[in-house]
Amino acid sequence: MVKDQEFLEKKASYCLSLAKKLGATDSSIIVKNSISETVNFRNKKLDESNRSDDLGLSITTYIGKKKSSISSSNLLNDNLNILIEKCIETTKNTPEDEFNSLPDRDLFAKEVKDLNLYDETHIENNQKIDYLKKLEAAASSDKKIVNTESSFTQNKSNFVLANSEGFCDGYKTSSFTASSVTVAKDEKSMERDYEYSSKCFLKDLDDADELGNLAANQTIRKLSPKKIGSEKIAIIFDKRIAKGVLSTFASAISSSAISRGTSFLKDKVNQKIFSDKINVFDKPDMLKGLGSRNFDSEGVKTDTLKLVDQGILKHYLIDTYNGKKLNLKSNGRCGGTSNLYFENGNISFKDLLNSNSKSLYITETIGHGSNIVTGDYSVGATGFLIEKGEFKYPINEITIAGNFKDMFQNITLANDLEFKYATNSPTMLIEGMVVAGK
Amino acid sequence: MSHMSNFFEKSDVSRKEAESIISDTLQKCDDGELYLENSKSESILLDDNKIKNSSYNSDLGFGFRAISDEVVAYSHSNEISKNSLKQSSENLKSTLKSVKGTYNHEIPKSNKKYYDNINPIEQKSLNEKIKILNDVNDYLRSKGDKVKQVTANFLGEQKSVEIIRSGGETLSDVRPLVRFNVSVMVEKDGRKETGVYGVGGRQSYDSYLKDENWKSVCDEALRIASVNLESKPAPAGEMKVVLGPGWPAILIHEAVGHGLEGDFNRKKTSAFHNLMGQKVASEGVTIIDDGTIDNRRGSLTIDDEGTPTEKTVLIENGILKNFMQDRLNARLMKTRSTGSGRRENYRHIVLPRMRNTMMLSGKQTQEEMIKSVDKGIFAVSFGGGQVDITSGKFVFNCTEAYEIVNGKIGSPIKGATLIGDGPSILKEVSMVGNDMMMDPGIGTCGKAGQGVPVGVAQPSILIDKMTVGGTKL
């Protein structure tokens, strides 16, 4: 069982009062316990079991405008005494920064709603094994599949966030995650792909057969890929890749990148950065949402934000420190976005495939090719050639490149949004990107 | 004898009791151990003209592992107590229900050490570190108005590990590690570019920063940023690529290194699994993975299973000779561990990983290579890379590159991704330079969610055909 609220609150208040006694003018602390149990299968047999029990805390102390922090997984009071003393010493020796402070008092979350983020259900390892047996049987039913690796994880967490302003709150969350990675082989090639499902509640998890079949089919269709020539071509991003475009957008509007001047979206609030039809939401209070939360990592309340309204950027993602620097109020985004998504477009997936006589459908990208300073984008990619709305053949060993400033203006979205991750996008078409191949 | 962490000093379980729980849990297993770890680390960050962050982390915990045939059971906790050890033991036994293995006790012994037992965090005061960071900021900002942002940081760590095996055999190591990084953003005519450089390894901060050596780190970061201000769009398509010496060896790391790790080959999911003894690279190409170079970031006295590290020849004169192995994959593939069993920390299982991966020098000069290229690119510095083990396709991102036109180095080009095919790329190597160089000591390799410090080295090389992912057709 994860540690209860009482235990975590006791540790938090011990540390806060010790920090105060040693001279801190302010302090904040997070104490967290997380227990995960994982079972892995490989080729229809048990491969690994893994149990992890992580208990840790992180405390930040302020002396006026000086600040420092420590974290530790050793919660014995003896050790905490030494560490907090060290933290205060370091704080004293760290230069002042006028923007260092706890959040403004009126911004703290006041009510904590039950967002349905915790499932009491405990799934024993032998039940996980039953699920994985079914999954792997489905995944390996085709002879072209030569290797399967699947995994089932149950995670239960609890935390308390507290500070010297009297904020003290936290709640339990749970997740159940199943995944399957399959390898397919033919005379010419060997390819890998995967499928995955993660939910707050066990009963919402995808069916094992369905997950296994999807993983296998997505892998088999990649066999015997070709390399194509270099050209300018319309790119369609599968949902699992399209969400990455949204993540890059989120890092580029984070108040830290804006205040440091290292984002291509600096000074773009109230300007049109996407095409007219694009709306982006960040909605923290979604029931059972994988990114849902009641407050951010500083205790600041989080409201739903319409970040982009008909193509126009409306908000940055603001925390206390960078907000003070930019002379803006925190909007509860310390630690990033919650449930971030593009609103559905108005054409079907099928019409999206048909909107160009020839396009590339991308199912996987590799490399770290997004530069948020310049907006330049260049990654390795794998996918399929689409002609007249039909999947023709698989493609690999190509790169796709462009600049986000142009890419954002050329996005068309399908109407197939689903909430599979914390950040989600419908299938996405971007015109005018460059493919490098042969 | 060096000072070690005494993991049982403040615990309700004595070393003897712990040993008996270990022996009892592992008695019918094929392998396993109790891994204990105590690490202290610091991070001091200057950003935007201020000390943004000074933090200290102290982490303590154990990972208990039992292996029977191919099945691994693992349990970890950050509470070193009788209760917690027993709970872990029960958890392992419940996974491995009917074990009847033979416990393999044999771990080779060595007295060699590749770094000193120091705590780099304590060797330099906080005030001295803050002073250097402020000096870095002042120095770079004095270089002209175009410097708009400076970030610099110190990362230091001391990690003590102890491995207790069935029967009480104990192996231990104390590992220092430091890194100093500088990142600078410049702006000219509305255009912004960044340059990043760093140094590090398993010695004191001063070994890397003495005699104002931090200035040369700043100069290099600023030089890269300034070159990029003048860069034009990169070409798109297949062409010849000359790689500079040193850090560009992450090509070797991604293209062939990962594919030669034992686990992927035992599971036959690596594009290399059936190529042992065959020609996988051009003649003259020799690649080793070496954990034994003094004070290097990727070096280890013993790996995380207690096996002394070694210099492993992976490819010799073009022929595939060895995979990198931990104990589990070595046993199942009927070979020996190469001392490559590593983990990020006690929260993670051991995997076969790289240490310092190096392509050795050949006979040609960089000048000859560039002269021989009519149209291509010269890549000097890289960001990161990634590989798909199964298809063998890998990428890496240039952070400093130039076009080559008619045998001469031309304009700098924008950062672009290069993509290639691991099993065939080394056959496209047509010249190997005489200028092998180690990287500056900043690499971290990620695999299965675990990051471990690594090194790379190579001479200049000429690759006859690679796809460059630019935007200019």
- For the cut 70, the answer to whether the pLDDT of residue B3 exceeds it is no
Q: Is B393 on the interface with A (CB under 8 A)?
A: yes
pLDDT confidence bin for B4, thresholds 50/70/90: low
Which residue, among A177, A190, A254, would best test binding to B if mutated, counting the most B CBs under 10 Å from its CB? A190
Q: Test B416 with A401 for CB contact under 8 angstroms.
A: yes
Residue B232's φ and ψ, nearest 5 degrees, are -115, 165
Mapped onto helix, strand or coil, the DSSP state of residue A174 is strand
Q: Provide mean pLDDT across the span B151-169.
A: 96
Q: Test A371 with B415 for CB contact under 8 angstroms.
A: yes
- For the cut 70, the answer to whether the pLDDT of residue B233 exceeds it is yes
- For the cut 50, the answer to whether the pLDDT of residue B255 exceeds it is yes
**Residue A289 sits in the same domain as residue A216:** no
Q: Helices A5-21 and A77-93 meet at what angle, rounded to 10?
A: 40
Q: Test B57 with A190 for CB contact under 8 angstroms.
A: no
CB pairs under 8 A between A and B: 239
- For the cut 50, the answer to whether the pLDDT of residue A22 exceeds it is yes
- Boundary-marking domain end, from A220, A253, A274: A220
Instruction: Please give the share of chain A, as a percent, with pLDDT higher than 90.
Output: 97
Q: Provide mean pLDDT across the span A231-248.
A: 97
**Residue A139 sits in the same domain as residue A257:** no
Question: How far does the CA of residue B112 sit from the closest CA of chain A (Å)?
Answer: 32
Which residue, among B269, B270, B275, would best test binding to A if mutated, counting the most A CBs under 10 Å from its CB? B269
Q: Provide mean pLDDT across the span B138-164.
A: 97
**Residue A18 sits in the same domain as residue A44:** yes
Q: Test B470 with A90 for CB contact under 8 angstroms.
A: no
CA-CA distance, B422 to B271, in Å (whole number)?
A: 8
Q: Tell me the average pLDDT of chain A.
A: 96
Q: What is the CA radius of gyration of chain A?
A: 24
Q: Provide mean pLDDT across the span A374-402.
A: 96
Judging contacts by C-beta atoms under 8 Å, the chain B residues touching residue A72 are: 57-60
**Residue A193 sits in the same domain as residue A142:** yes
What is the residue range of A109's domain? 5-220
Strand pairing class (B450-458; B437-438): antiparallel
Q: Test A378 with B416 for CB contact under 8 angstroms.
A: yes
Q: Test A76 with B10 for CB contact under 8 angstroms.
A: yes
- For the cut 60, the answer to whether the pLDDT of residue A305 exceeds it is yes
Q: What is the pLDDT of residue B9?
A: 86
CATH of the domain at A169: 3.30.2290.10
Residues A212-222 have pLDDT tens digits of: 999 999 999 99
Q: pTM to 2 decimals?
A: 0.92
Residues A47-56 have pLDDT tens digits of: 999 999 999 9
Q: What is the pLDDT of residue B99?
A: 74
Q: What is the pLDDT of residue A87?
A: 96
Judging contacts by C-beta atoms under 8 Å, the chain B residues touching residue A87 are: 56
Q: Provide mean pLDDT across the span B386-401.
A: 91
**Residue A169 sits in the same domain as residue A285:** no
Q: Provide mean pLDDT across the span B95-105.
A: 80
Q: Provide mean pLDDT across the span B74-87.
A: 93
Neighbours of B25 (CB within 10 A): 25
C-alpha distances in angstroms, A173 versus A158, A287, B469?
6, 12, 42
Q: Find the angle CA(B34)-CA(B42)-CA(B224) to the nearest 5 degrees.
A: 115
Judging contacts by C-beta atoms under 8 Å, the chain B residues touching residue A42 are: 70, 267
The distance from CA B282 to its chain's CA centroid, rounded to whole angstroms, is: 25
- For the cut 50, the answer to whether the pLDDT of residue B2 exceeds it is no
Residue A258's φ and ψ, nearest 5 degrees, are -70, -45
Q: Give strand pairing partners of A160.
A: A31
Judging contacts by C-beta atoms under 8 Å, the chain B residues touching residue A47 are: 70-72
Q: Test B467 with A436 for CB contact under 8 angstroms.
A: yes
- Boundary-marking domain end, from A200, A220, A240: A220
Q: Test A46 with B95 for CB contact under 8 angstroms.
A: yes
- For the cut 70, the answer to whether the pLDDT of residue A100 exceeds it is yes
CA-CA distance, B351 to B328, in Å (whole number)?
A: 9
Residues B281-308 have pLDDT tens digits of: 999 999 999 999 999 999 999 999 999 9
Residue B118 in contact with residue B176, Cβ under 8 Å? yes
Which residue, among B67, B78, B328, B344, would best test binding to A if mutated, counting the most A CBs under 10 Å from its CB? B78
Q: For A195-209, give the DSSP string.
A: EEEEESSGGGSPPHH
Residue A427 in contact with residue A238, Cβ under 8 Å? yes
**Residue A358 sits in the same domain as residue A384:** yes
Question: How far does the CA of residue A112 sit from the closest CA of chain B (Å)?
Answer: 30
**Residue A334 sits in the same domain as residue A241:** yes
pLDDT confidence bin for B441, thresholds 50/70/90: very high
pLDDT confidence bin for B212, thresholds 50/70/90: confident
Q: Is B423 on the interface with A (CB under 8 A)?
A: no
Nearest CA in chain B to A70: B56
CA-CA distance, B285 to B362, in Å (whole number)?
A: 8
Write the secondary structure of chain B as one string of H (helix), E (strand) and C (coil).
CCCCCCCCCCCCCCHHHHHHHHHHHHCCCCEEEEEEEEEEEEEEEEECCEEEEEEEEEEEEEEEEEEECCEEEEEEECCCCHHHHHHHHHHHHHHCCCCCCCCCCCCCCCCCCCCCCCCCCCCCCHHHHHHHHHHHHHHHHCCCCCEEEEEEEEEEEEEEEEEECCCCCEEEEEEEEEEEEEEEEEEECCEEEEEEEEEEECCCHHHHHCCCCHHHHHHHHHHHHHHHHCCECCEEEEEEEEECCCHHHHHHHHHHHHHHEHHHHHCCCCCCCCCCCCECCCCCCCEEEECCCCCCCCCCCECCCCCECCEEEEEECCEECCCECCHHHHHHCCCCCCCCEECCCCCCCCEECCCEEEECCCCECHHHHHHCCCEEEEEEEEEEEEECCCCCEEEEEEEEEEEEECCEEEEEECCCEEEEEHHHHHHHEEEEECCCEECCCCEEEEECCEEEEEEEEECCEEEEEEEEECCEC
**Residue A377 sits in the same domain as residue A269:** yes
Judging contacts by C-beta atoms under 8 Å, the chain A residues touching residue B468 are: 399, 436
Q: What is the pLDDT of residue B469?
A: 92
Of B183, B193, B199, B185, the C-alpha closest to B136 is B183
Q: Provide mean pLDDT across the span A28-43.
A: 96
Q: Test B386 with A366 for CB contact under 8 angstroms.
A: yes
Mapped onto helix, strand or coil, the DSSP state of residue A353 is helix
Residue B269 in contact with residue B404, Cβ under 8 Å? no
pLDDT confidence bin for B97, thresholds 50/70/90: confident
How many domains does one find in chain A? 2
- For the cut 50, the answer to whether the pLDDT of residue B128 exceeds it is yes
Domains in chain B: ranges and CATH: 15-229 (3.30.2290.10), 236-469 (no CATH)
User: What is the 8-class DSSP label of residue A4?
Assistant: P
Q: Test B185 with A261 for CB contact under 8 angstroms.
A: yes
- Boundary-marking domain end, from A167, A189, A220: A220
Q: Test A74 with B59 for CB contact under 8 angstroms.
A: yes
Mapped onto helix, strand or coil, the DSSP state of residue A37 is strand
- For the cut 60, the answer to whether the pLDDT of residue B239 exceeds it is yes
Which residue, among B131, B391, B424, would best test binding to A if mutated, counting the most A CBs under 10 Å from its CB? B391
Which residue, among A2, A72, A73, would best test binding to B if mutated, counting the most B CBs under 10 Å from its CB? A73
pLDDT confidence bin for B1, thresholds 50/70/90: very low
Q: Helices A125-139 and A208-220 meet at what angle, rounded to 10?
A: 40
Nearest CA in chain A to B148: A261
Tokens 């000359």 locate to: B242
Q: Test A262 with B394 for CB contact under 8 angstroms.
A: no
CA-CA distance, B157 to B123, in Å (whole number)?
A: 11
Indicate the residue of B268, B391, B469 with minimum beta-carbon distance to A192: B391
Q: Provide mean pLDDT across the span B319-329.
A: 97
Mapped onto helix, strand or coil, the DSSP state of residue A418 is coil
Nearest CA in chain B to A71: B57
Q: What is the pLDDT of residue A139?
A: 98
CA-CA distance, B42 to A216, in Å (whole number)?
A: 45
**Residue A216 sits in the same domain as residue A232:** no
Per DSSP (E only), the strands in A288-348 are 305-309, 312-313, 340-342
Q: Provide mean pLDDT across the span B218-223.
A: 96
**Residue A141 sits in the same domain as residue A174:** yes
- Provide the token pair at A195: 């499928």
Q: Test B60 with A73 for CB contact under 8 angstroms.
A: yes
Q: Which of residues 448-467 of B touch A (CB under 8 A)?
A: 467
pLDDT confidence bin for B280, thresholds 50/70/90: very high
**Residue A255 sits in the same domain as residue A202:** no
Residue B383 in contact with residue A368, Cβ under 8 Å? yes
> Cβ neighbours of residue B384 under 8 Å, at least 6 residues apart?
A367, A368, B250, B396, B397
- For the cut 80, the answer to whether the pLDDT of residue A199 exceeds it is yes
pLDDT confidence bin for B100, thresholds 50/70/90: confident
Judging contacts by C-beta atoms under 8 Å, the chain A residues touching residue B59 are: 72-74
Question: How far does the CA of residue B181 sit from the closest CA of chain A (Å)?
Answer: 17
Q: Provide mean pLDDT across the span A8-22.
A: 97
Q: Test B269 with A147 for CB contact under 8 angstroms.
A: yes
**Residue A277 sits in the same domain as residue A423:** yes
Of A258, A301, A316, A282, the C-alpha closest to A103 is A301
Question: How far does the CA of residue B304 sit from the closest CA of chain A (Å)?
Answer: 18
C-alpha distances in angstroms, A340 versus A365, B34, B59?
21, 42, 33
Residue B177 one-letter amino acid: L
- For the cut 90, the answer to whether the pLDDT of residue A89 exceeds it is yes
Mapped onto helix, strand or coil, the DSSP state of residue A391 is strand
Judging contacts by C-beta atoms under 8 Å, the chain A residues touching residue B52 are: 97
Q: What is the ipTM score, two decimals?
A: 0.88
User: What is the 8-class DSSP label of residue A221?
Assistant: T
Of B418, B393, B453, the C-alpha closest to B255 is B393
